[in-house]
Amino acid sequence: MEAFNHRLNTYIDSWMGPRDPRVRGWFLLDDYPPTFVFTILYLLIVWLGPKYMKDRQPYSCRRILVVYNLALTLLSLYMFYELVTAVWQGGYNFFCQGTRSAGAADDKIIHVLWWYYFSKLIEFMDTFFFILRKNNHQITFLHVYHHATMLNIWWFVMNWVPCGHSYFGATFNSFIHVLMYSYYGLSAVPAMRPYLWWKKYITQGQLVQFVLTMFQTSCAVVWPCGFPMGWLYFQISYMISLIILFMNFYIKTYKKHGASRKKDYRNGVVASVNGHTNGMTPAETVKHRKPRAD
């Protein structure tokens, strides 16, 4: 295995160029296979999980969902705060920022962005909860695409551009995740569901995030500062794909079926956010489908 990792690392390095030595030896970053294997296992569970649960009763997961979403809310809040303070401390330039220009602030951002990368592995649990609760309709292409790609993209980001202009998307996304996972956690508490009115605005916030990230990335193309151009072009392309997918979801969810979803909301049903929700759904409130205890 060590020989395989060495050959693979040599190939990746020949393609991508020298890695950033500041992350050498960090957990999960030296070799790509662990990240790739986690992704393959995730996709296998997405495929086989619903088949396994087909003839079984759904699990409730209510209590663990509250804890899980609270933990991700706090982690997202921590990352957002640390990134904002580091960007301020380092005097980061919105239009373009190199990866070796802010000293201690760069180091702080690298450490926070490792947690951001690792959080993408934790967020695989979103999908596993759908499977356990038999909410298979929530496992959309958008949901799987977003989860599977982010972990892999951020492995490469952490090895080659772990600070500098990479900060913006992660900072904005951490803020959105504070709102999103707090919503998820509250939606798992039945008494709170009638008061959850902001799901639509979370999706709007995500679309704003993608547009602003694409704009900020484009600024570094127009006014370069040494940040690798290949990464900028890739990020612009990836943001375009997310804008298209999230816009399609938004139109289908809030435009074409707005009337029926408003009716569901009045009846205490929580609709999905960004193609999925890990709060409680109608299937778990139907009396003749009682979930098993955790």
- Which residues are tagged catalytic? 146
Distance CA 40, CA 247 (A): 27
Tell me the backbone φ, ψ of residue 31, rounded to 5 degrees: -125, 140
3-state secondary structure of 271: coil
Task: Yes or no: say if 175 and 66 are a contact pair by the CB < 8 Å rule.
Answer: no
Please give the torsion angle defined by the CA atoms of residues 232, 141, 266 and 185, in that order, rounded to the nearest 10 degrees: -70
Task: Encode burial over 179-199: b for 16+ CB neighbours within 10 A, e otherwise.
Answer: bbbbbbbbbbeeeebeebeeb
Other CB atoms within a 10 A radius of the CB of residue 209 amount to 21
